Structure 1
């Protein structure tokens, strides 16, 4: 039963005649009492205590001590209690230590409100807009966990839309970034310049949409299996790449976010939609068969020594092949090097994935199939009711084959890396 008790003020170590009132109320365990001080009268103290007991009975009471937990303390508890893939853990700690903690680490959970967070991300957080969204989303996820842990009654960030910067007079319109995708002929030229060992990875990404980690994770057990479907009473088959795992490069973290060193390791895919069979057009199926025959390593897009690529090392190989390089005379410790003109400035493995999805749009691949092949989650009710058919798959493969053949003909080529390639078009 709630009640109020006098709390005498102390001055110079001695109790005075001045006092205030402290509210006492029974805690959820039914044994111990909680308290809150600073009330002017016994009545207000008792009423506060009764309100707390009513909230406890209704199951909506939050201990003020818990709601006063610093955000940084609870965030560390959250990271420990919610294990994720190593790469996800590293990304979250980077967002916490690099962006969130400098402003919110020592703020009590109950003092975080949407107005303050929205103003901070708009005016103080100096990152691109996509990263701002990820940072605020992580904060919201942690505050939702605080609600679940009975540290807060509500998450003040839940369902709120971030304020975007106001347009100003004289602002230059944002140009369409055409460097995110590249013409197929430029991709083919860059891949050939890289050589058979390395360029095959770039070509595969541009015509399948597999990302960097997925390509590194392709081993012999998951390549050139076959998809078999019924096509109006006839069996239809096509070679596939089975994407079931990926290689991730990330900073391993301790319980408190401390760095333990960079690792390169196999990880499960991000979600169930990323687990997929990617259909191969004829030219690429032939190249994959050749790869499987001559490549001595278990992972078919590895380095020649059999190890997985590190992103930094791959960038050192890809950048001059795509962007070009100046000539270099022979000198002690360095061989002569001919100049390379730019072929696909700015091309990256992510750009190759952009290229693939753009080509799918160009050849009008059905949305349900485009989502499936890219490993994306279908959106809306159409994503529930629409499914790829054999005719859709044939149309996609015929379209990609035609794109490749046209690019090869424009370059006057019939082979890649000295390997004959299939340049036949479908006879519809």
Structure 2
């Protein structure tokens, strides 16, 4: 320790690497400097010391390397790079990793929420937290500054579902070569990327089954890649309701490419359908059917909800719709008004039967008269 001309005290210590390092600040009295050095000595002795120079790497540089060092799906890597470039680097890019504080993270998040969607901010925060967790493992920082409870979670409003009549009304207004896409999305719960990845070998008309083995993803560049479905559980076999089998047979005979590797869904000019083009087809079909506010992906929600209403178990729903976790399947087991009525009617019958049995015993014993229902 030494007393500076200003009257304040400076503390220095020798780190495990042998280098002398000053405290990050000076102290008003000698005791404060002594206490700081004692705490630093305890930290070094316990093996908790972190090189204060290690965390001086700019966040932008560290985060870019973090993404490159991971084996990510192309779509995920593209998403991370976009979140980093648009939402994290403008604020934290030039700041040293060790200088990012909980307060700066809170201020960043609050500012982003003013002009950016909550879902995008939640994804950006989740990426920031993951990068800083690695910085913690690399001993660049002492604690992760991302401490906002629920910061990576966003409340997603429940999407609407279509009735059976609405599904068929939309299908009727959809061009013939795409009509089956509507029915399979609604009643088999297939995603758009899974539908356009289907090949002839995936459709078993005799057994009435569809095998989901892959999904087509479209990158921002316009390039498309074929990959595994969204989760490992997405590889699955789905049994087809008999009522739509005739439509499937007709589609396979008229519109699908022939052969085991032939594409099931092909555009009018022989290309695999693109999402932006199909969205225009979808919106027009919905408008012609007089249905508003329904997205194509809502058909999957429709099918999942209908399947849950059959009384299927959580495990069965997970298998049918390719859910990787029970949490995803439980979303579709929410109570509906119709199911509440069925449950209430069943309880009502049990209550009446129980009251009648109880009243019968009381009369036999000379007790109270039968309860009026």
SS at match of 1:157: coil
Deviations 1:208-250, CA, capped at 9 Å, x for gaps: 1111111111112322288xxxxxxxxxxx5322222110011
2:177 to 190, 197, 203: 197
Q: Which residue number in structure 1 is paired with residue 214 of structure 2? A: 245
Q: Is the 8 A contact 2:59 2:94 kept in 1?
A: yes
Give 1:300 shift. Answer: 0.7
Q: Which residue number in structure 2 is paired with residue 136 of structure 1? A: 125
Q: Is the 8 A contact 2:211 2:236 kept in 1?
A: yes
Question: Is 1:311 the equivalent of 2:299?
Answer: no
Q: Which residue number in structure 1 is paired with residue 363 of structure 2? A: none
Identify, as 1 or 2, the structure richer in strand: 1
* TM-aligned CA distance change 1:110 to 1:191, over 3 Å: same
Q: Which residue number in structure 1 is paired with residue 62 of structure 2? A: 74
Counterparts of 1:92-111 in structure 2, within 5 Å, are: 92-111=80-99
Counterparts of 1:257-406 in structure 2, within 5 Å, are: 261-294=221-254, 295-296=256-257, 298-324=262-288, 342-379=289-326
* TM-aligned CA distance change 1:285 to 1:151, over 3 Å: farther
Q: Which residue number in structure 2 is paired with residue 411 of structure 1? A: none
SS at match of 1:266: strand
Question: Is 1:64 the equivalent of 2:52?
Answer: yes
Q: Which residue number in structure 2 is paired with residue 209 of structure 1? A: 189
Residues of 2 paired with 1:205 and 1:377: CA distance? 19
1:33 to 2, 19, 33: 19
Residues of 1 paired with 2:41 and 2:65: CA distance? 28
Q: Which residue number in structure 2 is paired with residue 334 of structure 1? A: none
Alpha-carbon RMSD across the aligned residues, in angstroms, is 3.7
Deviations 1:21-78, CA, capped at 9 Å, x for gaps: 67352445xxx52533665799988986786575455443322122233322221111
Give 1:193 shift. Answer: 2.1
* TM-aligned CA distance change 1:42 to 1:91, over 3 Å: same
Q: TM-score, normalised by structure 1?
A: 0.64
Give 1:266 shift. Answer: 0.7
Give 1:19 shift. Answer: 12
* TM-aligned CA distance change 1:59 to 1:313, over 3 Å: farther
* TM-aligned CA distance change 1:285 to 1:33, over 3 Å: farther
SS at match of 1:262: coil
Residues of 1 paired with 2:22 and 2:272: CA distance? 59
Residues of 1 paired with 2:271 and 2:47: CA distance? 56
Q: Is the 8 A contact 1:218 1:299 kept in 2?
A: yes
Q: Which residue number in structure 2 is paired with residue 91 of structure 1? A: 79
* TM-aligned CA distance change 1:163 to 1:194, over 3 Å: closer
* TM-aligned CA distance change 1:302 to 1:163, over 3 Å: closer
Identify, as 1 or 2, the structure richer in helix: 2
Q: Which runs of 5+ in 2 are unaligned?
A: 331-373
SS at match of 2:297: helix
Q: Which residue number in structure 1 is paired with residue 364 of structure 2? A: none
* TM-aligned CA distance change 1:293 to 1:124, over 3 Å: closer
SS at match of 1:349: coil
* TM-aligned CA distance change 1:106 to 1:317, over 3 Å: same
Residues of 2 paired with 1:225 and 1:188: CA distance? 21
Residues of 2 paired with 1:163 and 1:300: CA distance? 38
Q: Which residue number in structure 2 is paired with residue 401 of structure 1? A: none
Residues of 1 paired with 2:40 and 2:230: CA distance? 43
Residues of 2 paired with 1:69 and 1:120: CA distance? 20
Q: Which runs of 5+ in 1 are unaligned?
A: 10-17, 166-173, 227-237, 252-260, 325-341, 384-428
